[in-house]
Amino acid sequence: MGVFSPDALKYYKILKYKPCSTKSLLTRVIKKNNVATVVVDSSSADTPTVSCCYSNVYREKSEKSPDNSIKVTDCKDFQNNVTFTSSAIMIKCKRKSSKERVYENVHAAVLIDDNIKKKMTDWNETTRPLSILFVGIDSISRLNFARSLPQTYKYVEERGWISLKGYNKMDDNTFPNLMAILTGYNQTMSYKICNPKASGFLDKCPMLWYNYRNFGYITAYAEDEASISTFNYKKKGFVMPPTDYYFRPYIMATEKLAKVTLNGMTYCTGPETAGERILNLAEEFAITFKDHPHFGFFWMNSYSHNNLNSPSMMDEKVKKLLTELEDNDVYNNTLVVFLSDHGIRFGDIRLTPTGWQEERLPFIYLSFPLWFKEKYPIYFQNFQRNVNKLTTPYDLHMTLQHILVLGGFNYTIRPSDACPQCMSLFEEIPHERACEEAGIIDHWCTCEGYIEYQVEANILQKLTTFFLDQLGKLIGSIDKEKKCDTYKIKSASTRISQRFFNKTRNHILLRITTKPVAEFETTITYYGDISVNSTLTIGDISRLDYYSSHSHCVADEYLKKYCYCK
């Protein structure tokens, strides 16, 4: 399936960037010698007619859930400029004559405090280890990246960034796929060991950014859409900041500004797009610490999560980040990992064969410094040999550990608990690698290669009855208050695995439309002749339609995907 497969092309269109304001920003940040100042634009026609005040923004440490609380101080008047005394500042400006509020914004700055300064001073290593910068955009497949961000795609291709074309997600949504990178855990392990629903447990979770921080790296994490962010959607988040620079308070403050939504997501926060705020943070962090080991993790949901084509609006902005990093020599010492977690999971394209494949194959590009390629030619050659092989987030987890060893740190690589056979991408992955060996269950495995196969009516009845029974048990195990309706089959279709066709064991991809209206997809495994009493087992169940509007009666993150409120 190509970038412009006919079944995908009919859903594709390039969208134009929409600015959040017709005016230029009234305030901007100037940083010099580790001092950041908010300056009112003297060239603006509004400047003589307005008065402005500022508030400092802090994380509310005394709250039971500090990850969901910020403190905004009283607004103090200032003229022309004000110096940062906190990591984020909220600005409000009103007309002097009418007191009408005409401008609001929140600014952040990457400042080096005494703790960071000591960390940098204490660094006395003679060799320079590889820095790591993750830049992530939610819900973009490898093929849709080429379609929707053509300028960015051209940039990374022309500069020889490495694309892992067989990079396969290991679970449904963002949390498990990012946890696989950071911890080597699958969803079940993540909830058992790091229980994100209990306060303080994520702080104890063995995420690799803690290892990097302990070895002297400066660390950062930022993500837009605070309410649905990876560690906070139906989760408790962190009690203590997980990284040296933790931008959640800033993002929460920006979401107090006037918002403009697009496809159900927060596109504008005040006069700036939510996505550009993350891009700007990534740029400032990487440039500030380009000469010191750093580990940054920057993730964007706001312009990509809910729509196939909306990422195209930000193509020029994303490319601009990559060119700014190049112009400021960030690539000289930094491995940039530019990636997504999965493709689009909902909507009409997802009902096509291309959509099935794209959901499972997110884009990932990596840029290595020249010195790394020259110092480790065998490792780099192995990495290149892996570009067309089946790879997973678990392999990326192993690679991040390998980088610590190559940096000369006293670190021992530990196998991924969820995928003991997964390996560093600096090692050559076997050509015949199967999904089972890569930690991917059958339902998410792209190697299956399903083909159209209409089973007999009595077998279809058997499959749909089995599915409804399993779905009912799943919902019933969580829905103790009986808030969810009971599904009935409206229609069903089947596809069968090419890999196992006519084998003792086989997989059927079952797609079901129900009453009340919902779209589901699941992989059912059977042994022997399905027309007789063969044993059926069910894998994960995908929800293919948008369900937020009719799952409001339940709070459980897992149940929301399956519940249709009565």
Same domain, 151 and 89: no
Domain CATH for 461: 3.10.450
19 domain residue, yes or no: no
The residues that bridge with 522 in the sheet, in sequence order, are 510, 541
User: Does residue 34 sit in the same domain as residue 141?
Assistant: no
Whether residue 353 is preceded by a cis peptide bond, meaning omega within 30 degrees of 0, is no
Q: Got the DSSP string for 3-32?
A: TT-HHHHTT--------S-SSPPSEEEEEE
**DSSP three-state, residue 376:** coil
Kind of pairing between the strands at 272-273 and 265-269: antiparallel
Read out DSSP for 466-479? Answer: HHHHHHHHHHHHH-
Report the C-alpha gap between 342 and 363 in whole angstroms. Answer: 8
Helices of type H across 289-376: 315-327, 353-360, 370-375
Q: Which tokens is 2 given?
A: 């190509």
In the prediction, which pLDDT does 417 show? Answer: 98
- What is the residue range of 66's domain? 27-108
Token pair listed for 540: 């994960």
Q: Are residues 376 and 454 in the same domain?
A: no
Same domain, 426 and 455: no
Count structural domains, the chain: 3
In this structure, is residue 1 part of a structural domain? no
pLDDT value at residue 502: 57
Residue 278 lies in a domain: yes
Residues 136 and 48 in one domain: no
Residues 217 and 93 in one domain: no
Task: Looking at the structure, tell me whether residues 370 and 518 fall in a common domain.
Answer: no
Q: Is residue 125 part of a domain?
A: no
Domain identity same for 253 and 337: yes
| Same domain assignment for residues 242 and 356 | yes
- Strand-strand pairing, 88-95 and 245-246: unpaired
pLDDT confidence of residue 503: 61
Place of tokens 């009409």: 348
Q: What token pair was written down for 438?
A: 């890569």
Among residues 397, 429, 447, which one ends one of the domains? Answer: 447
Pairwise CA distance, residues 187 & 176, whole Å:
5
Residue at a domain's end among 393, 423, 447 = 447
Q: Are residues 439 and 457 in the same domain?
A: no
CA dihedral 520, 525, 528, 531 (to 10 degrees): -10
Q: Do 175 and 199 belong to one domain?
A: yes
Same domain as 442, residue 462: no
Dihedral over Cα of 31, 32, 37, 40: its sign: negative
**Residue 332, domain member (yes or no):** yes
Residue 126 in any domain: the answer is no
CATH of the domain at 405: 3.40.720.10
Mean per-residue pLDDT pooled into runs of 10, the chain (566 residues):
86 96 95 96 81 96 88 96 96 92 97 95 83 99 98 98 99 98 98 96 98 98 97 96 98 98 96 99 98 98 96 99 99 98 95 94 99 98 98 99 97 98 98 95 89 88 95 92 95 85 78 96 86 83 91 90 94
Instruction: Give the per-residue pLDDT at 449.
Output: 79
CATH of the domain at 62: 2.60.40
